[in-house]
Amino acid sequence: MPVIYASNDVINRQVVIDYIEDKKQKNPNYKVIDIGGSANPWCDKFVDTYVDIMNSSDRRVIQGDINEMSLWNKLTGEGWDFCICTHTLEDIRDPKFVIENIKKIAKSGFVSVPNKHTEISNIESSEYLGFCHHRWIFQITSSKMIRAISKFHIINKLVPFRKSSFFGRFSKNDTKIEWRNEKLAGRGFELAFIWEDEFHFEYVNNDFAGVSCNELAMLFIDELGEGL
């Protein structure tokens, strides 16, 4: 199975470190690259190269914009065995572009983002949901499909603590994201997975927001409810 580990619970880096350490013991030439992680080098013991927009004086960094194909062209053909990408995809304009290129350059990897419960909770402010600079909410379905939906402002009308008559055809209970779990929301939680060989990603509803407020609301109410 391509996704061999998945969690939307408390951040657990040890499972990744143990995985890489086992691979390194079996193959001393096992190569690890980290996309966007030079500012938080939690796996520095094993990472051979970082890729980041900012350079670093104390570790090897290939500097560039991960949204540009010219950077990925520099990374191909180097035989990366494992690619780390933590808390980066939620920030960028096109996570699918980056994911597809990660899969081209590496044989396996670890990906983590804030989980959907955190992004639909008051993490930074009582006035808005999730982290203000994040653009996407991610999920992993029961079939291990990785999916993402843009963080439209409409989510502020759907959570239980908000009162709204905005959606005329819904009853009060129907306009709530009932799957949200406060016990899984917080800065210490994330959606994370280890993949081998391949994994599948898509935008919810092919990144189409629908033709009405009601259709867009249902993407959050129904489509994000499945899985992690």
Domain membership of residue 228 (yes or no) is no
Number of domains composing the chain: 1
Q: Please check the confidence at residue 68 and state whether its pLDDT lies above 60.
A: yes
**Average of per-residue pLDDT values in the chain:** 88
Domain membership of residue 172 (yes or no) is yes
- Which has the closest alpha carbon to 91: 75, 113, 110, 111? 113
Measured between alpha carbons, how far is 58 from 56 in angstroms, rounded to an integer?
6
**What is the radius of gyration, based on Cα positions, of the chain?**
19
Buried b (16+ CB within 10 A) or exposed e, 123-144: beeeeebbbeebebbbbbeeeb
Range of the domain at 157: 3-223
Within 25-169, strands assigned E span 32-35, 49-52, 61-63, 82-86, 108-113, 136-140, 145-150
- Which has the closest alpha carbon to 98: 48, 58, 148, 44? 148
CB 180 within 8 A of CB 121: yes
Q: Which residues touch 50 (CB under 8 Å, ≥6 apart)?
A: 33, 34, 37, 38, 41, 56, 59, 60, 61, 62
161-179 mean pLDDT: 53
pLDDT digits (tens, 9 = 90+) for 49-67: 999 887 766 778 888 999 9
Measured between alpha carbons, how far is 37 from 7 in angstroms, rounded to an integer?
20
CA atoms within 13 A on the CB side of 149: 26
DSSP state of 156: G
Q: What is the pLDDT of residue 40?
A: 84
Domain membership of residue 118 (yes or no) is yes
Q: What is the pLDDT of residue 165?
A: 46
Domain membership of residue 179 (yes or no) is yes
CATH number of domain containing 85: 3.40.50
How far CA 171 is from CA of 10, 66, 213, 225, in Å, comes to 34, 44, 15, 19
Domain membership of residue 30 (yes or no) is yes
Q: Please check the confidence at residue 167 and state whether its pLDDT lies above 70.
A: no
For residues 167 and 109, the model is more confident at 109
CB 123 within 8 A of CB 100: no
